[in-house]
């Protein structure tokens, strides 16, 4: 017996203590900072959280060069805290949700904003806007056993050395524990799943040649160049 086509390589995030974290699924929450919800034209106080997904192979391990994708003229950066799970389950109580967390990393949820807006306008799925090749650069993963569970601290993004996004983890509308709890009502979470926790205000477009630096206090910065 042999495979008809080669089995896909697993996507593996290196960790700060020299281990490796294979990624199973990639979940992302929408509009989880009030100021970003407002800049997108929504009222942050009246919306329950919602999620979307990307293929694991949209991850670019460690950042570096990513290609400007086709079919867009408005490719946006979204700086985010990423949570990695080493345990799973369904209907997790928020009070117990931290038990599922392996660690944290800095990530980018790159978005074809024009195609996302078109999908919103037409009531269509977000996949063309969000689930884009190379749209999920993720930096080094830090275990919670080393850094704890960050609940405040700066989240910022510099584009060519100029500060564009500048938020704090204490501005999350839905906490990491609440995110895990609510998501686990809809999906049975499992070891290897990662969750992008939303972006602060200040999202904007990139062009080829741009250099992005993304920071969350206590974690390794993410560096990306658009080519
Ligand atoms: Mn996002």
Per-residue pLDDT tens over the stretch 3-42 = 999 999 999 999 999 999 999 999 999 989 988 888 888 8
Residues contacting residue 73 through CB under 8 Å, at least 6 positions apart:
114
What does the pLDDT average to over 68-89? 98
Q: Contact, 33 vs 201, CB < 8 A?
A: yes
Distance CA 38, CA 33 (A): 9
What does the pLDDT average to over 147-158? 97
Tell me the average pLDDT of the chain. Answer: 96
Per DSSP, the three-state class of 194 is strand
Of 98, 112, 126, 123, whose CA–CA distance to 70 is shortest?
Answer: 112
Ligand 1 centroid from CA 149, angstroms: 20
Ligand 1 centroid from CA 75, angstroms: 13
Q: Contact, 108 vs 80, CB < 8 A?
A: yes
Q: What is the model's pLDDT at position 37?
A: 84
Ligand 1 centroid from CA 143, angstroms: 22
What does the pLDDT average to over 128-147? 98
Whether the pLDDT of residue 221 is over 70: the answer is: yes
Ligand 1 centroid from CA 28, angstroms: 6
For residue 1, what pLDDT band results from cuts at 50, 70 and 90? confident
Whether the pLDDT of residue 104 is over 70: the answer is: yes
Integer angstrom CA distances of residue 38 from 13, 41, 45, 201, 227:
33, 5, 10, 8, 30
- Cα-Cα-Cα-Cα torsion 203, 205, 208, 214, nearest 10 degrees, comes to 0
As residues whose CB is below 5 A from the ion ligand 1, the structure lists 78, 109, 199
Percent of the chain with pLDDT over 90: 93
Instruction: Sort strands 211-216 and 154-159 into parallel, antiparallel or unpaired.
Output: antiparallel
Ligand 1 centroid from CA 94, angstroms: 22
Q: What is the model's pLDDT at position 46?
A: 66
Of 159, 33, 11, 140, whose CA–CA distance to 82 is shortest?
Answer: 140
Residues contacting residue 3 through CB under 8 Å, at least 6 positions apart:
none
Ligand 1 centroid from CA 90, angstroms: 23
What does pTM read for this prediction? Answer: 0.96
Q: What is the model's pLDDT at position 210?
A: 98
Tens of pLDDT, residues 182-218: 999 999 999 999 999 999 999 999 999 999 999 999 9
Distance CA 52, CA 18 (A): 30
Q: Contact, 165 vs 202, CB < 8 A?
A: yes
Q: Where are the alpha helices (DSSP H) in 123-159?
A: 127-130, 144-147
Q: What is the model's pLDDT at position 48?
A: 83
Burial (CB count within 10 angstroms: exposed 0-12, middle 13-18, buried 19+), residue 152: exposed
Tens of pLDDT, residues 43-60: 877 678 999 999 999 999
Distance CA 152, CA 146 (A): 16
Distance CA 183, CA 99 (A): 15
Ligand 1 centroid from CA 92, angstroms: 23
Ligand 1 centroid from CA 199, angstroms: 5
Ligand 1 centroid from CA 20, angstroms: 24
Find where tokens 């501005």 sit: 171
Ligand 1 centroid from CA 4, angstroms: 36
Which domains are delineated in the chain? 12-226 (3.90.850.10)
Whether the pLDDT of residue 114 is over 80: the answer is: yes
Ligand 1 centroid from CA 2, angstroms: 39
Whether the pLDDT of residue 173 is over 70: the answer is: yes
Whether the pLDDT of residue 161 is over 90: the answer is: yes
């Amino acid at each position: 017996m042999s495979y008809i086509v080669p089995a896909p390589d697993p996507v593996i995030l290196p960790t700060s203590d020299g281990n490796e974290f294979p990624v199973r699924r990639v979940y992302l929450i929408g509009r989880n900072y009030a100021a970003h919800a407002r800049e997108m034209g929504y009222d942050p106080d009246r919306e329950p959280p919602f999620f979307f997904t990307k293929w694991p192979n949209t991850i670019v391990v460690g950042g570096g060069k990513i290609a400007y994708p086709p079919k867009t003229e408005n490719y946006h950066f979204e700086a985010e805290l990423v949570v990695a799970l080493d345990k799973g389950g369904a209907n997790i109580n928020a009070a117990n949700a931290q038990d599922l967390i392996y660690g944290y990393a800095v990530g980018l949820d790159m978005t074809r904003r024009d195609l996302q807006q078109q999908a919103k306008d037409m009531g269509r799925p977000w996949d063309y806007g969000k689930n884009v090749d190379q749209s999920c650069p993720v930096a080094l993963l830090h275990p919670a056993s080393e850094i704890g569970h960050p609940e405040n601290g700066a989240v910022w993004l510099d584009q060519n050395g100029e500060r564009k996004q500048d938020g704090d983890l204490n501005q999350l509308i839905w906490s990491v524990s609440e995110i895990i709890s609510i998501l686990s009502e809809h999906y049975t979470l499992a070891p290897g799943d990662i969750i992008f926790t939303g972006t602060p205000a200040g999202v904007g477009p990139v062009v080829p040649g741009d250099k992005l630096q993304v920071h969350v206090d206590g974690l390794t910065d993410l560096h990306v160049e658009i080519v």
